[in-house]
Structure formats: C-alpha cells, structure tokens
Amino acid sequence: MSEVSFSIDTEELRITVDDGVATIWIDQPDKRINTISHDTLDAIEQALNAIDQEPQVRATVFISGKKDSFIAGADINMLKELKDPSDVRALTFRAHDLLQRVKDSPKPSVAAINGACMGGGLEMTLGCDYRIATTHSKTKMALPEVQLGILPSGGGTQYLPRLVGIQQALQMMLTGKNIYPKKAKRIGLVDALIHPPGLHQAAQRAALQLADGDLKPDRSLKSLTDRLLESNPYSRKIIYTKALERTEKETKGNYPAPAKIVDAVRTGMEEGLEAGIRREAELQSELLFTSESKALVSLFFAKQEADKNPYADEARPVQRIAVLGAGLMGAGIAQVSSVNGVDSLLKDQSFEMASRGRKQIWKNLSKEVDKGIRSQFERDQILERVQPVDSYDDLHAADVVIEAVPEDLDLKRQVIAHLEEVVSPECVIASNTSALPITEIAEGAKHPQRFIGMHYFSPVPKMPLLEIITTEQTNETTLATAYAAGIKQGKTVVVVNDGPGFYTTRILALYMNEALLLLDEGASFEKVDEAMEKWGFPMGPFELFDLVGIDVGAKITDVMESRIPDDAFQISRIAERLAAQGLAGQKTKKGFYTYSGEGTSLDKEEANDGIYDVIASSGQASFASSMVQERLGLMMVNQAVACLDDGILKNVTDGDLAAVFGLGYPPFQGGPFRYVDTEGAASIVGRLEQLERKHGPRFAPARGLLELAERCGSFHA
C-alpha cells in the first residue's frame, strides 16, 4: 500500500492507493446500500480533485464498500425535496458535469461492480473507461427511472445509447428491467466478468493496463444488424418510431415518461450530445412534477416502509419454513423461501407428489440459469435447501408452517389439527387462502393465538405482495414472526384484519363480479378487457379469470356470497356455469380465450366465442369504454374505502400498496385511495350516486367517501 494520503472531508467514501491505482470505496455510513445524494456528489468531486493533483496516482477504480450492492440509484428523498423545475435542471446539470469530469480525466478509470448497480449508480459508471462486473446472482444493472414516472437524468439517455446502441438502450430505459452479468457482457454494458473475490484485484490490473495503453476496450456494436440500422438517420428514425409505437401499445398512453425518454435519446443522437443533455434536463424537470410520477414515487416510499418489520422486536428467528401442499402455489412459497436462504420442507400426501413440487422449483430456477440470472451452482445450492417430505412428523422443527392445500374449509381444519400435534409450541401456523376467513379456519384450534393468514399471490416467485391476515386472537409474536418470514422471502408485506375476502380478494372479487354482470347484460368480454387494459390494468378481468381459473373464481364467489348482505350485491352465476362445463381457463387451455403451449408458459391464442352459447348472452350489446371503466373501476375503489370503514384495512397506504402490488391496480394512479385524492372525493361520490340510481345499492358510496367529500378532505396528507 502506498504512503500517498488524501485529505477528504467526507464520510461518504474513502480512498486507498496501491501501485499507482487509487481506489475510491463508496461506503455511506449507517446505510445498508449506497445511494446518490448531494453529499455523494460532493464526496466524489472532492476525491477526483485530490486524485488529479497527486502525480503518483495513474488510474482510478470505483468500487463499493457494501457487501452485495454497488449503488442502488439516486436518493429518492433528494428528488422529493426538489420544489420547482429550475432545481431539477440544476441537479441534472451537476450530475452531467461530474460524469463528464470522470470521462475527461487524463487518468483512466474502472468501475468495479458487484451487486445492484441501478439508476444514477449505473449512469456514473458510464463515465468510466472500463467496467468489470461480478458473476454473482445479486449483480444486476438497470435504469429503472421509468418505474417512477421519470427518465434517467444523470446522462443515461445520452451515454447509454452511445455505449450499447440505441435499440438496447431504449429497451433498458423503457422497461426498467434488470440486466444480468452475462447479457451485460454480451451487449457491451460491461467489458469483463469476474468471480466476486477477485473483483478489486482485476479492476486494479485493468486500470494499470489502461494507463499503460495495453488495454483498449472494443466499443463497436456487437451485432452487424445493429450497426447497419443505427448507422444513418433514416433507419434510426424507424427505430424511434417503432419504440414509440410499442410504448403506446403497452402503456395505453397512461405514462408520459416513455415518450420523453425516446425524445431525449433522439435529440442527443440526431442533434448532438450537448443538445441531448439539455433536452434530458428539460424533460426531467417536466416529468418530476406530473401526477403520474408523484403517484409512483408515493408507492416507492410505501414499499420501503412495508419492507421493514414494525414488530421486529417481538419476532422469533425464522430459519426453517414448512409448506403443506406441493402444487404451484406451495412450490412457489418453498421456492421464494429457499432462494432467500431459508431451509424449506415441502410436504404433500406422498413423497412422490412432494418431489414433483421440488422438480417444479428446479425447472423455474433452470429458466433463470438459461437467462444468465444465476449460475448452475447457485441453482443447485438453492435446491439443496428444499426437502420433500410426506409425514407430519417431519415438520416438528419448523419455525413457520404454511398450509397451501385446496380451498376447502374442512380440509384446512383437519390440516391444522394434525399440525398442532407435531410442531413446537412456538411454531407459527399460517393458512394461505384467498377467501376463507382465517377465524373460521382456526375454529377448534387448540392454540388460536399462534394462527394467522399468509395470503400469497400467483405466481408466487413473481408477485411481490404478501397479505398477512390477523384474527382477534392472533398474538403479536405470531404476527411479528410471520412478517419476518415474509420479509425473508423477499415479499412486500401488508397486514389486514380478518373479514370476508380480507382486503385484496374482497375488492377484486366484486370488481370481477361487476365484469360478469356486464356479460350478463350482453357485453363483449373482449371489449371489457380492452377497456380495463386501457384504464391501466395489465390484463382485463376475463383474461384474469382464465389465469386464476374460472373454477377458482366460482368458489370465491360462493365464499363471498355467503358472507355479504344479500340485498347489497347482485351476484352473477356465469363463472359457476362455465366451470360446470369444464371451462376453467389456462389450466384446461380453454376459457374466455384459448391457449397453446405447455406447463406454465402458455400463449393466448384467440377469443372463445363459444362462451356466449354457454351463458346465453349475445356479446353484441354496446357499452362505451368509459362506462365499463366507471363501473369496474369505481366498484373496486368504493370497496377499498368500505374495507377501511369496516376496519379490515389499517391504513390507506397499505390499501394502495396491496391493490397495485397484488392486483395490478394501475400504478400510475397510485392506488385506489390516491385515485380518490386525485379525482376529488366529491366527484367520486357523485359518480357513484349516478351508478347507484341506475344499477342499484351495490354502488352506494362508502361511508368514508361521504365523510371525506363533506369536509373536502383527502386520504393522503
């Protein structure tokens, strides 16, 4: 280690020097991950000033002092504090200047990336002369700003297209999706890959080779087709046009950021870097103050809070989770447990059936191996944590047991009785059910205080939400431990009180029922789906019926109907009639639509018009899209408020978060409660009263809406 010393007045980073290479260790104090804030920008600027003035330093390495994270992006609190467009432009230009400073330095620089490298963190590396990343499964790169309703404003819209090509850059920025190491190397986002233990040394070697002129990275586009397409303004114009068309098709015009991302890229590539940087700053100053961005940012903060266990002091350690039922749901729960380092017992009626569940996990993980998301070694390590069993006695050492057997009340009670005979007195017993009241399942349990609901969403490895349901008898230790288990599984957790359908199933079931009532009235299910997709849902209600199973929908309807006031709701019997004809949706490859393919990877083929013959409906009645959206959207919103009135929901933030993360409620609206605030409670009440006059008492405004409208208030401060 060199005797060179630096006087840096910051705790954000530290500098070490070895053989002429200065390493900037970004390691923010008292934080699990690094983010970019004003202090971070100040610290990096100080470090560069010191390094530039030290003749013994020939090259620089940027690396994180955190274990599995490089830089997770900009500090969202910093963005939230920006008050007007001029503040946004000033911050953007400062980030641009710092990136350009790194790029123009006579001393070459290397970014050494391990773990998450997101947003502003990735943008910072674009100024470096060389990027080397580890092959660790936690290493991933992305520009996810579009998911917050904004664009990359630290130079991403300008430097990324020049590095990986316009098409790859647009795909990254318009989707916000993660890029994993193998693909990052393939597209030129990084120059080399290394195993984690050798990262720093490899980066130092590369830095010296760059300084000596012995290393010259290849910056040409990898694909001949890409080079031809991006080599002239005429073909580039086609790229921009196609990107806008795809964006419009996917977003239905509900999100302003994607079109502005294309605008910023086009300006920079066609009018030059300086014009592009100015355009990037200008567009960001517009986007940050849109209602869409504010809604998406509110969800970001809500998720951050939900990812912390408010009952942590009461939680018992969770080292082993047992799952009863090795079907897609049970196997999915075991998978998210084992992926996150928790030993999992997977039980079914026979060892063979439990082993099939484990094999499904292997298939899911193997797909990730094929995509370069994780290595075969990591897959095999994860699978070793999944143990198939066929006896209740094998579950005695579990910390949490989650039953995921079919939705049958008697069956679930039998399972609970067996479990209480074998598990330890401290073990939490949870039911994964989408509709059956937890209190009813727990009837007859010897220790109802340790019983709780843990409602997962299908497919479990992809859906981020876990809805925990407590009864009047559930104690705080049980809740705290279940919450801890959910966090360990990587889930975003909300806690609700018990009631018919809890929160998510209740608002979804009555939304879906309203769609069926439209079908009863002669509507086209395709047009209803189109209307709700345009409103912002990822899929319409009838395609969703096919996904979850029309037979499952019919069972949920039965559960809900027996527990809601008869005079308040008109229940459609369509799902029951279709299920009786063997039309279950994707599981039978035929429902409202027909499907092809095998396993869980099915492709939607075409509408199944035979549905109309079964339900004796024409499908020809004319309903304006706006009316479809009003009936279905306001049914869900009104029921969300009713859940708050009834004490099912504990707060409106959880209500918004659960609707978006669990049900696909349009994220740009921020959730049903933020939608009320945006539209105004008085407006929502007036529209519901119109629907009530036309369609009956199921549209009567919830008490909380009436009270809010009367005092001209809002749900969120």
Q: Please identify every residue annotated as catalytic.
A: 467
The angle, 0 to 180 degrees and rounded to 10, between the axes of the packed helices 541-548 and 525-535 is 100
Helix (H) or strand (E) holding 361: helix 351-370
Q: What angle do CA 90, 94, 98 make, to 5 degrees?
A: 175
For 203, what's the count of Cα atoms within 13 Å in the CB-facing half-sphere? 32
Question: At 560, which amino acid appears?
Answer: M
Element (H, E) at 680: none
Q: Is the distance from CB of 546 to CB of 593 less than 8 angstroms?
A: yes
- The CA distance from 205 to 209, in Å, is 6
Please list, in sequence order, all residues whose beta carbon lies within 8 angstroms of the beta carbon of residue 174, skipping any fewer than 6 positions away: 146, 243, 246, 247, 258, 261, 262
329-302-530-146 Cα dihedral, nearest 10 degrees: -110
Q: To which residue do tokens 């009956």 refer?
A: 696
Tell me the longest C-alpha to C-alpha distance in the chain: 86
- Beginning with the edge strand found earlier in the chain, give each strand of the sheet holding 69-71 in spatial order: 69-71, 116-118, 140-142
Locate tokens 């266990």: which residue? 309
Do 257 and 150 meet the contact criterion of CB atoms below 8 Å apart? yes
Instruction: Report the distance separating Cα 9 and Cα 23, nearest Å.
Output: 17
- Token pair recorded at residue 447: 């220790």
* Residue 58 φ/ψ, nearest 5 degrees: -105, -20
Question: Positive or negative, the Cα torsion across 545, 547, 551, 552?
Answer: negative
Instruction: List CB contacts of 391: < 8 A, sequence separation 6 or more.
Output: 347
Q: How far is residue 2's CA from residue 120's CA, in Å, rounded to a whole number?
A: 31
Q: SS3 of 62, please?
A: strand
Q: For the chain, how are helix, strand and coil distributed in percent, rounded to 5? A: 55, 15, 35
Tracing tokens 């990587």 back to the chain, one arrives at 490
- At 528, list the tokens: 């209803």
Contact yes or no for 654/495 (Cβ under 8 A) = yes
* Residue 384 CB partners (closer than 8 Å, separation 6+): none
Q: Which two tokens stand for residue 689?
A: 């009263």
Task: Decide: 222 and 188 in contact? Cβ < 8 Å.
Answer: yes
What gap in Å lies between CA 291 and CA 82, rounded to an integer?
15
Helices assigned H by DSSP within 447-592: 476-488, 504-520, 525-535, 541-548, 550-561, 574-580
- Cα–Cα dist 534/530, whole Å: 6
Quote the CA–CA distance of 121 and 144 in Å, as a whole number.
Answer: 11
CB within 8 Å of 616: residues ≥ 6 apart: none
Rounded to whole angstroms, the Cα distance separating 15 from 449 reads 53
Q: In what order do the strands lie in the sheet with 13-18?
A: 13-18, 21-26, 59-64, 109-113, 130-134, 192-194
Question: Is 207 in contact with 59 (CB distance < 8 Å)?
Answer: yes
H helix or E strand, kind and range, residue 611: helix 611-615
Count of helix runs (H) and strand runs (E) in the chain? 30, 19
